Structure 1
Amino acid sequence: MPLAPWKRGPLLAALALLLGLVTALHARIPNVGGFGSLVENLLPWCGAFVPVLLAGALWRRSASAVVALVLPVTVWLSLFGGLLTDRSHPGGDLTVVSHNVDAGNPDPTGTARELAASGAELIALEELTDQARGTYGKGLAQAYPYHVVRGTVGLWSKLPLSDTRPVNVVRGDVGPLARTKPAQSAAEAADGVRALRTTVATPHGPLAVYVVHLGSVRVMPRRGFWTDSRDFGARALAKAVAAERNKRVVLLGDLNGTTDDRAFHGLTSRLTSAQKTAGNGFGFTWPASFPIARIDQILVRGVRARSSWVLPETGSDHLPVAARIGW
């Protein structure tokens, strides 16, 4: 005698419930070996398992599995459903762009030209090398008369800059990464500068701008999802933002993690994601050839993001991000 529909597919039903619980309770997943952080960086992709499980449920004619899928669908829509709509608004006073240009970029001249064509008032670049820094400077100089560079990060601006200083987001011992990845430039090797803070003189008053490239993450056989360097930088950056006296702040950069990652709670509790409040879709940026995560961020405080979008691919392994902000 064939099983009743409610008794078919118990494994599918269990997997559906597990998917819903993981999505809903991701913050409670122990971060052993960085597993919790890894799940949070890929959290939107939990929704990709729903059609797979649904197909299996329909094939098995399992009523219990279909009903169990209500949980992950409901949770996913509550977390990410709003990102499926266009949240942008017209207007704004300032356009900002951020781009990890990639130390191995084969065409820095073309990348600089494409970024300048965006018309943004501010362009933040990360992963600058000694060899390519002059090329970017030359390509942006005509449209951006003001610029500052500290280590491997820089900001090119149409508006005057002042009070520029490095922000220490690099710990002295970077752990196993020091043995697997060479320094990106002599400047980084010398002083480890991967973040800066500057003041932009806008028609509406001073704006504090942070440009940052947090430490890399790695999936390592014995350590799991290794995030020590990045997490140290995230905590240091959160302290700097907390101490920032200017009420208006824009943070631009490659955080090597999504804003769903628990490591950035200190930042996301003080700053708002331009993409989440004024974007259209998820705005994935990495890897450029097939983006699966948004690790390049524009975060704001004291100003409002009116629109947020991803720019076309350059010679980098990251996609540039842009936002229009207003007072």
Structure 2
Amino acid sequence: MSDQQHARPGRRRHLREPRRRGTVWSRGIATAVLQVLLAAALLFHELLPSASGLASLVATGLPWLAVPAVLLLLLGLLRRSATATLAFLLPAAAWAWIFWPRLSEEPVPRDDLTVVQHNVSDENRDISGTVRVLLDAGPDVVVLEEVTPPLVDQYTRAFGDALPHREVRGTVGVWSALPLRDAEKVDLRPDGAGPGWNRGMRVTVLPGEGAPGVTVYAVHLPSTRLAPAGLDVAARNQSIELLAEALAADDSDAVIVAGDLNATLDDPALAPVTALVTEPRHGFGLTFPAAFPMVPIDHVLARGAAVTELRTLDRTGSDHLPVAAAVDLPWS
């Protein structure tokens, strides 16, 4: 046997097992840096610049930042990088610090008032099926968005005697088992919106004999859109400021805000509103899109009363899931 034949197996072993560059600590530095950035985005997303909607974009996908963190962990394991693998602990700890309390705390529902909120979609033709899902929650008050004029009477007939009281302004409306009074439009129009853009209203619900009225705001804030320069949030943010001004000027004993806010509670742009009304943080509350919910943008918030539980309901013909809130009134 020649020397070349003796050398061939060794040469093959060398080809099969290429030498790795660096050590387990020096490999994967770039992956580790990305993990650090993910942890920083989780912990300090409120400090991100609002230009191009960056802060809103990160806040909207905040719980989903766990996905790239896990993918980077797998990459670190494949590269046998101790640095990249250990760096995963940073976003993991940050994610747990933010979301574990929301997942571990069980709500204690107290429901003097049950409020159901739903963006029904103006393309939803299953009115009876939608109403069936909403009524199954046993609501005292139902707040709907995207109720175009041709749909108002259809929903009124479908709710029937269960919710005989109704007030509608523009494309938002309130149907109630309890009497309503003092309904008025709330002007949330951003720049460029015409006089026909009516997506806010205020109405007083009368919960019982001698009890104070509960002011309910039905709102549908402008959508955000991906644009070449980033996430376009200008119109929505203007409407948020207008809503906050209306809430700050409202001296009602109890206020409830229900609607499609097109923003998550983690979004710093919503802070002017969440400084005045609050919502419990139990679970993720994902409502959009209904086919595969990824973001919680449908809300019921309160002041002078407490939303003790917020849960999603079954899917309807809309692209949003409805939510039901248990509201505790302080004087009951």
Q: Normalized against structure 2, the TM-score is what? A: 0.89
1:231-270 matches, within 5 Å, as: 231-270=237-276
RMSD: 1.5
Alignment counterpart, residue 323 of structure 2, candidates 302, 315, 321: 321
Name the CA distance, whole Å, in 2 between partners of 1:54 and 1:172.
45
Is contact 2:285–2:312 with CA below 8 Å preserved after alignment? yes
C-alpha separation between the residues in 1 aligned to 2:40 and 2:328? 38
- Aligned residues: percent identity? 39
2:40 aligns to what SS in structure 1?
Answer: helix
Q: Deviations over 1:82-106 (max 9, x none)?
A: 1222431143211110000001112
Query: What are the equivalent positions in structure 2 for 1:159-308 lying under 5 Å apart?
Result: 159-174=178-193, 191-203=196-208, 204-221=211-228, 223-274=229-280, 276=281, 279=282, 281-308=283-310
| Residue in structure 2 matched with residue 149 of structure 1 by the alignment | 168
Give per-residue Cα distances to partners, 1:216-246, cap 9 Å, x unaligned.
Answer: 211122x421112111110000111111101
Q: Is the 8 A contact 2:300 2:307 kept in 1?
A: no
The one of 117, 131, 136 aligned to 2:155: 136
8 Å Cα contact 1:87/1:307 also seen in 2: no
Letter aligned with residue 250 of structure 1: I
Measured in 1, the distance between the counterparts of 2:275 and 2:87 equals 33
2:31 equivalent among 12, 16, 31: 12
**In 1, are the aligned partners of 2:116 and 2:142 still within 8 Å (CA)?**
yes
Q: Give the Cα separation in 1 of the matches to 2:220 and 2:275.
A: 19
Residues in 1 aligned to 2:255 and 2:307: alpha-carbon distance in whole angstroms = 12
Give the structure with higher Rg (CA). Answer: 2
Structure 2 residue corresponding to 1:311, chosen from 294, 310, 313: 313
Does structure 2 retain, via aligned residues, the 8 Å contact 1:163–1:198? Answer: yes
**Distance (Å, rounded) in 1 between the aligned partners of 2:307 and 2:322:** 17
- Summarize deviations over 1:147-203 as a string: whole Å, max 9, x none: 1000000001111111111100013514xxxxxxxxxxxxxx753210111111113
Equivalent of 1:89 in 97, 103, 108: 108
Instruction: Please state how far the C-alpha of 1:256 moved relative to its aligned partner.
Output: 0.9
How far apart, CA to CA, are the structure 2 residues paired with 1:196 and 1:159?
A: 17
Unaligned runs of 5+ in 1: 175-188
- Aligned equivalent of 1:47: 66
4+ runs deviating over 3 angstroms:
none
Q: Would the aligned equivalents of 2:261 and 2:298 in 1 still touch at CA under 8 Å?
A: yes
1:206, CA displacement in angstroms? 1.4
Q: How far apart, in 2, do the equivalents of 1:166 and 1:286 lie? A: 26
Is the Cα contact below 8 Å between 2:212 and 2:253 reproduced in 1?
A: no
User: Which runs of 5 or more structure 2 residues have no equivalent in the other structure?
Assistant: 1-18
Question: What TM-score does the superposition give when structure 1 sets the normalisation length?
Answer: 0.90
Out of 9-18 and 45-54, give the one that drifted further.
45-54
Q: Deviations over 1:285-326 (max 9, x none)?
A: 000000110111111111122221000000000000111111
Q: What amino acid does structure 2 have at the position aligned with 1:234?
A: I
Q: Does 1:71 align with 2:90?
A: yes
Distance of 2:317 and 2:308 partners within structure 1: 28
